[in-house]
Amino acid sequence: MSRVTPNYVCQSCGAQTRQFFGRCSSCGEWNSIVEQIPSSFERNRKNQRRSSSKKPSEQRSEPISSLQDEVLQRLSSGYTELDRVLGGGLVPGSLVLVGGEPGIGKSTLLLQSATAIALQESVLYISAEESAQQVKLRWSRLEGKESNLQLLSETNLDPVIQELETLKPAVAIIDSIQALNDDNLSGAPGSVGQVRECASVLQRLAKRQNTTLILVGHVTKEGMLAGPKVLEHLVDVVLTFEGDRFASHRLLRAVKNRYGASHELGVFEMQGNGLQEVRNPSEIFLNEKSASGIATIVACEGNRSLAVDLQGLISATTYASPRRTATGVGINRLHQILAVLEKHMNLSLSRHDCYIAVAGGLEVEEPAADLGIATAIVSSYRNLILPAGTVLIGELGLGGQLRAVNQISQRLQEAERLGFKRAVIPQGSGVKSIKDEFDLELLEASNIAKAIVLALQVNPERDC
Ligand code: TYD
Ligand code: MG
């Protein structure tokens, strides 16, 4: 097929050029120009590839209430943790994008899942990054069994499409979309134009033949999914695979899900024979020993609650301006909490370095962790150990008041299940009605000073 002269279009203002520029001369936006196939060519190719040349029927609108409910037939991925993140399993004809840093285990997870699905359905694994031998080697290591799993090692889009059209598999995995290359475009594999074009051709094909497509995507240095934003808009589900390189567990998170709740979390552990599911993840985020500076919170990730240990270290500074380091917690959040403690608890923290870390490499973004962070700081500052079996739940207002958090009942249930005895929670969390449900001792506080007194069972302002 002859190469087509490409057009370049600014994704920000729509200006068209014949040449690629790093900056749009029309609107001044950087990195917004992408390659685009001329529409006449696009139309020809669509006609070529479309097996059924149906004329578009005249579509009319209809009352939403009269539409028939369609029951989603989900396909299990073979792993409960993966199914949970997907919202109950793979939906036929849907597009799933799995992103993550190199070496985190994307290929391992998908090969394991492909092997499990292939016991019932036909699966095509397209490896654009590794040779067939490499994938086979990994498959043998993962103790893959005889199944319906087909393997194709190819980087060119056209043979990939052909194979998909011939086999019509129930599930196809493309590892990775950045390594795929459309010969009709001049850009290098992984360039914005290539990724966008390959993904949209594959999407049309997947919807047409009801194949579930799982695309592996790279992430940039900043941890964002590489490629155009349009890729994320195009797919139905975006999952990110993350974790501490130095720890063995991996977190799979739904960032976008058209068929289920987003921010759902799945936990895996990398072992010698592949990724194993972790059914009780709170265990890996909890320390057994108690020491000063350790406080336990209950974080909510989607529909899942996790008890997580926070560690704080406060020490007199030797620097001109004190150091503040936060791992797993936003640094601005830490600054805000330090300011509240300074103002409302009379702690002179401005001459102290402050380090906060979340155990197990988890990222806790929600404000419900505020009380835990504040308690870890006070506990380290005053060298007080939090009584065993205490969890802290609450958001801190700038005025020192403790504010109610969402899903309190679910958090308390998780704490109780894990054997915690006391929970410090904001006053007015609506717990009056749920108090009888729990064996936990519920300690309600309206502000930070009261909460810390209840948590540490001493008054850090008076007794220390
Ligand atoms: P991989 O799936 O190749 O990562 P990605 O596709 O995200 O780049 O992950 C490979 C890493 O996992 C590699 O560092 C080796 C490790 N690993 C194990 O520890 N055990 C195993 O059974 C397998 C297959 C890989
Ligand atoms: Mg890989």
Give the tens place of pLDDT for each residue, 326-378: 999 999 999 999 999 999 998 889 999 999 999 877 888 899 999 999 999 99
Say if residue 169's pLDDT is above 80: yes
Would the pLDDT of 44 be above 70?
A: no
Nearest CA-CA partner of 372 in 344, 410, 346, 333 = 333
Burial class (CB in 10 A: 0-12, 13-18, 19+), 279: exposed
The pLDDT assigned to 396 comes to 95
Residue nearest to atom 14 of ligand 1 (CA): 103
Tens digits of residue pLDDT in 215-245: 999 876 665 666 656 688 889 999 988 877 6
Q: Determine the Cα–Cα distance for residues 7 and 17; give it in Å rounded to an integer.
A: 6
Query: Within 13 A of 1's CA, how many CA atoms are on the CB side?
Result: 12
Q: Is 315 in the pocket of ligand 1 (CB under 6 A)?
A: no
Please tell me the predicted confidence (pLDDT) of residue 50. Answer: 55
Highest mean pLDDT pick, 141-155, 277-291, 340-354: 340-354
Q: What does the longest C-alpha to C-alpha distance in the chain come to? A: 83
pLDDT at 405 over 60: yes
Structure tokens given for 131: 């040779």
Higher-confidence residue: 29 or 433? 29
Question: Distance between terminal CA atoms of the chain?
Answer: 81
Residue 15 and residue 32 in contact, taking contact as beta carbons nearer than 8 Å: no
What angle do the packed helices 157-167 and 192-209 form, to 10 degrees?
10
C-alpha distances (whole Å) from 282 to each of 241, 277, 437 are: 18, 13, 21
> Nearest C-alpha to atom 24 of ligand 1 is from which residue?
274
User: What gap in Å lies between CA 415 and CA 421, rounded to an integer?
Assistant: 8
Whether residue 100 has its Cβ less than 6 Å from ligand 1: yes
- Residue 103 CB less than 6 A away from ligand 1: yes
Q: Is 384 helix (H, G, I), strand (E, B) or coil?
A: coil
Mean pLDDT calculated for residue range 81-102: 92
Residue 319 has pLDDT above 70, yes or no: yes
Per-residue pLDDT of 365-392, as tens digits, reads 899 999 999 999 999 999 999 998 899 9
Residues 120-124: what's their mean pLDDT? 93
d(CA 98, CA 106): 7
The confidence score (pLDDT) of residue 435 equals: 60
Structure tokens at 319: 């620097």
Mutational pocket test of ligand 1: of 174, 270, 271, 276, the residue with most ligand atoms within 8 Å of the beta carbon: 270
What is the pLDDT at residue 433? 57
Protein residue with its CA nearest to atom 17 in ligand 1 = 274
Q: Which band of pLDDT confidence, cut at 50, 70 and 90, is reported for residue 81?
A: very high
Q: Copy the structure tokens of residue 49.
A: 């590839």
Is 105 near ligand 1, meaning CB less than 6 Å away?
Answer: yes
For the CA atoms of the chain, what is the radius of gyration? 26
Residues 6 or more apart whose CB falls under 8 angstroms from that of 332 comprise none
For residue 149, give the DSSP letter: E
Pocket flag, ligand 1, residue 313 (CB < 6 Å): no
Ligand 1 in contact with 249 (CB < 6 A)? Answer: no
Q: What is residue 22's predicted lDDT score, i.e. its pLDDT?
A: 87
pLDDT at 214: 96
Q: Compute the distance from residue 106 Cα to the ligand 2 centre, in Å.
A: 6
pLDDT band at 79 (very low <50, low <70, confident <90, very high): very high
**How many Å apart are CA 345 and CA 447, to the nearest integer?**
10
> For 179-211, how does the pLDDT look when each residue is reduced to its tens digit (9 = 90+)?
998 888 777 787 777 888 899 999 999 999 999
- What's the gap in Å between 130 CA and the centre of ligand 2? 8
Mean pLDDT of 110-135: 94
Does residue 285 register a pLDDT over 90? Answer: no
At position 462, the amino acid (one-letter code) is R
More confident residue, 143 or 267: 267
Residue 298 to residue 282: CA distance in whole angstroms: 9
Residues in contact with 438: Cβ distance below 8 Å, sequence separation at least 6, in sequence order: 412, 413, 416
Q: Is 217 in the pocket of ligand 1 (CB under 6 A)?
A: no
pLDDT of amino acid 380? 95
Global pTM reads: 0.78
pLDDT of 454 higher than 70: yes
Residue tagged 């205490």 (tokens): 390
Q: Is the pLDDT of residue 445 over 90?
A: yes
What atom in ligand 1 is closest to the CA of residue 108?
2
Mean of the per-residue pLDDT values of the chain? 85
Reported as a pLDDT band with limits 50, 70 and 90, residue 436 is: low
**Mean pLDDT in residue range 124-134:** 94
Q: For the residues 45-57, what does the mean pLDDT come to?
A: 55
The proportion of the chain whose per-residue pLDDT surpasses 70, expressed as a percent, equals 88
Q: Are 377 and 356 in contact (CB under 8 A)?
A: yes
DSSP track, 225-287: BSS-HHHHHHSSEEEEEE--TTSSEEEEEEEEETTS-TT-EEEEEEETTEEEE-S-GGGGG--
How many beta carbons lie within 10 A of that of residue 110, not counting itself?
Answer: 24
pLDDT value, residue 197:
85
Which is more confident, 52 or 279?
Answer: 279
Identity of the amino acid at 230: V
Residue range 299-322: mean pLDDT, rounded: 89
Ligand 1 atom 12, closest CA:
105
pLDDT at 461: 63
Amino acid letter for position 298:
V
DSSP letters, 54-107, are: PPPP------GGGSPPPPP--B--S-HHHHHHHTSSBPTT-EEEEEE-TTSSHH
Q: Higher pLDDT residue, 37 or 142?
A: 142
Sign of CA dihedral 361, 364, 370, 371: negative
Q: Give the mean model confidence (pLDDT) for residues 80-84.
A: 93
> What is the DSSP secondary structure assignment for residue 369, as one 8-state letter?
G
Question: What SS3 class is residue 160?
Answer: helix
